[in-house]
Every structure is written in C-alpha cells, then in structure tokens.
Structure 1
C-alpha cells in the first residue's frame, strides 16, 4: 500500500475515519492525504462570480480545521499528512484527486454532518462507491483500528471475479492479510453459473495466491455474511461493485447497499473499472483550490 486518502467534514464520524486512516497509514508505511471540500450549490452562484464571493469565514474555518487536524495527527502518530481544501462538488473532486495523486485506497466514515458525507448511509453510498476509481474502505462510525490479518470476500459465484480479486490481492498484500472467499447460498438467489466453473477460473488466474474458499447455506445473504465475519473474526469484509444491466437488476437486489447500511465491520468495496495511473503526477486535482 502506498497512498491513502480520507475525506473529512470535521464531524465526529468523519474524524474517527481520519484517525482510522492514520493508524492504517502508520501500520502499512503509507502516505496519507486528508481532503475537505467547500461546496456551494451551483444554482446559488452565477458563473461569473469570483471565488472571493464565497463565504470567506467558511473557507478560513475549513483551512484552520485542516491544519489543526494535520498537527494533531503529527503529534499523535508521528505522521506527516498532506491536506487539500478544495471548492466544488465532492465526488468529482475526490475522484480527480485519487487519479492525480495515485491514491490506492480511499477511507471514509459512514456518516457526516455536512455536504455529501451526511448522506453516505443511504442512496449516496452506492452512488459514491460506484463512481470511485479505486477501492474504498467504509468505516463504521464507532470502529477502532486493528491490524488487518483476515479479509472475507463476499462472492455470489455468478460474476467474473478477476478484476476484483486482482485488486483485493493487491490490497491484502499491502496489509499482510489473508483472503477468504465466502459464498453464502440462498434459495432466493439464482444459481446461473456453475460454482465449479467460477472456482476453476479463480485458480487459473491466481495460481500463486493463497486463499481459502467457503460456501455456507443461509436464508439471508447479509445475515450469513455477518455471522461468518463474526464467528471467524474477519477484520474486513470486501465486496465487488458491479455495473449490472436492467435484466440482471431484476434478479439481484443490492447486497452491497444492505451491507453498507448495516455496517457491522469495515467494508472494502472494489470497483469494476479501476483506474491505472500512468501520467505524471500533478500537485493538485482539476478542482478549484481555496485559500
């Protein structure tokens, strides 16, 4: 693991996620970026209005809070952090920052008091993690950091897993963690692709990776995953973020959204189309910096 990014709105839950990310950065020897966005509805300002017209007190407050947070992290964790205070829409700015700063993992709290973080638990949860170009670690509000040794990966055994497992094994290697692939079978879930076919594909594509596979019957997928995580002391639960078409959506309800809403353990989401960093790294994203 090389670069972590954690957004904050300075709420209690977001601050908890920042400290979680700081502990993770120290544990893995990673670079840590902390970002705050100052957002004003586009309808509230004409395009010609200069940046100075934005509430200067809010900008000053945001910058001061970021610096206080950076100092606190330095004193607590002996960790140098890079801070970004940006003006504009949250999701595009964070995604641009991910790409321009070669971020490997975004760490986010499940709730917040303002801007988009206030709605992370709900419809915006799936919106954000679907648009994220890299893995996202969603941290429950009361979660405390512990060294990650075991990661459970929830698979329906109906999907081509290569793109997701490639990311997962990379994250696991950075954490020094073992991967446990878990398939919870339910009578309400269709079994379209033979399980043996999926397992052969995984073994063929990842011959050098160590992992375990378990299949458990349960009438409710989310409850089954929860029980597996708790009984086997998993540190993270990983899920794939799939872009299903209309036909597939008729047969699959959003397991990922349910897991995010129930948030019983840190949730690692893996995108279907992860970015590949190739261009030279600029110092700032395409958003408008403030201050």
Structure 2
C-alpha cells in the first residue's frame, strides 16, 4: 500500500482512528501515512449556531500545532520505514481528499466513528457522506472502541445487484493485501433471489473462490441488523461493503438505526466505491 490518508478533527475518536491507521501502515509496510485536518468553516453549518468570534489565523496556528504533535506520536507507531506527514487546510475536506488522492497515490482513507450509535452518527455526518460520495478509493471507518488489530477475519456484505456492476479491482486489491478469512454474506430479497441471479452468483464465486472464503445467504428484512449480528457472532475484525454513490449506504443502514436496532458494533467498516 503506497499511502494511507487519516482524517482528523483532533478528537479522541480521530486519534484512535489515526492509531489504527498507523498500525496498519506499519504492518503492511505502507510508504506514507498522511494526517489531514481541514479547518474549513462551512457557512451553512454555522448559520444556526451562536455567534462566535472566529479568527482564521488562530485556527490555522492551532491546527498546525496539533498536527505536528500527532505526526510525532504516529511516527512512534509506524517506525522509520513509513513517512508520516501532517497537512492542514482551510479548504473543504472532500476537495483536499481529491487533490491528495491524485498527487500522493492514496489507497485508503481512514476516519473515526463517534458515539454509541456509531454508524448513524458517521453516516449522517456530512464529512462521511461527502467522502463516500466523492472518493474513488476505499474508506475505512473506525469505531471509537474498535480493537487495534490486523484483520484476520472479514465479513464481506454483498448485494448482488450492486456487485454485478461494481468495479472489482479495488476489492481484490484489498483482499490480496489483508490475506484474511472472508465470510461472504449475500443479501437476498427472497428465496427466489438466488435463482434469479444465478449468473451473478457464479461470477461472485469465480472472483472470490481463490481466497479463503465461506458463503452465507440472508433474507432478513433488517439488513443492517443481519450483517451486524453475523459479524459479531463470527468474531469478525472488519466488515466490507460496496457503496453505490448517492444511494445505498445511508438507506442500507438507516432503518435499523431509526427503529433503535442500533449498530453498537466495535467492528471497523470498509466502504468500497461502486
């Protein structure tokens, strides 16, 4: 892996995600880890907030001071073989990510998930939504209490209708890197779904059979709950899903959350662009 990009707002959750990214960088011999803080002040987001005297030079100075501290701390984890570089910017986060992706060969973006209802907060959060809808590289979301470990068992959540038209090279690149046991849970709409998409199932097997893989099919109406329980019951270290831009990830998980079937998982979630 050439470069990992870790996003930070200097919160404890972001620090944990940066530690996780640093651990991955060391293990997989990543050439570069970039720590990024965007202190862009969105006028729309601030419209209904109390009036506060913002001083852009002060914000910039504080951001640069903290990013330098984080750079030093993450360098201790990565060791000397990975270059840790800190960047601060007053541009919108998605613009900076797009620029860095093009210039630095970024292969993965890492960010934290906050609070007890982790998934709801990160998916509703504008940064995560914008990142998922704008980036063409994997996005790794780290819960605040996720153990820092190398993924040895990964749940791959598959919707065949999305999978059949998805670009597969990023998925195989990720699986080649992790060399983990892969537990595929195929989200089926009904029992006939497997017959209707027989060709797609065959393509799925052709792609994944070379790996250490097991297959499961689920017709559970609550997709998020089904995936969450499956991952927890199998002691998974990571969940991977494919995101259809401007569509599936938010609706994919939101129902179970709004019905208080909260995703109280401490399992990192990797979102691959479709």
Normalising by the residue count of structure 2, what TM-score does the alignment of the two structures yield? Answer: 0.79
Q: 1:11 to 1:170 in 2, by over 3 A?
A: same
Change (3 A) 1:193 1:89: farther
After superposition, give the CA deviation of every residue in 1:259-288 in whole Å (9 maximum; x if it has no partner): 89736221110112xxxxxxxxxxxxxxxx
Structure 1: unaligned runs, 5 residues or longer: 44-52, 113-118, 273-291
The answer (yes or no) to whether the contact 2:158–2:186 under 8 Å persists in 1 is yes
1:73 aligns with 2:74: yes
Contact in 1 for aligned 2:163/2:242 (Cα 8 Å): no
Partner of 2:220 in structure 1? 218
1:164-214 Cα offsets, whole Å, 9 max, x none, are 543122112112223222114455x99498232211122445674453321
1:197 alignment partner, one of 196, 199, 209? 199
State the secondary structure of the residue aligned to 2:161.
coil
Question: Partners in 1 of 2:137 and 2:11 — Cα distance?
Answer: 24
Aligned length: 251
User: Are residues 1:177 and 2:183 paired?
Assistant: no
C-alpha separation in 2, matches of 1:202 and 1:255: 21
Aligned partners of 1:140 and 1:263 also within 8 Å: no
Partner in structure 1 of residue 56 of structure 2 = 55
Distance verdict in 2 for CA 1:258–1:161, change over 3 Å: farther
- SS of the residue corresponding to residue 21 of structure 1 reads helix
RMSD: 3.1
Q: Match of 1:86? A: 89
The structure-2 alpha-carbon separation of the partners of 1:135 and 1:61, relative to structure 1 and needing over 3 Å to count, comes to same
Determine if the alignment matches structure 1 residue 147 to structure 2 residue 147: no
TM-score scaled to structure 1, two decimals?
0.75
Asked whether 1:103 is paired with 2:106, we answer yes
Q: What's the CA shift string for 1:215-253, capped at 9, x where partnerless?
A: 1343422111112111112111111111478xxx8xx98
Kindly indicate whether structure 1 or structure 2 has the higher relative contact order, using CA contacts under 8 Å at least 6 residues apart: 1
Q: Distance in 2 between matches of 1:148 and 1:259?
A: 26
- Alpha-carbon offset, residue 85 of structure 1: 1.3
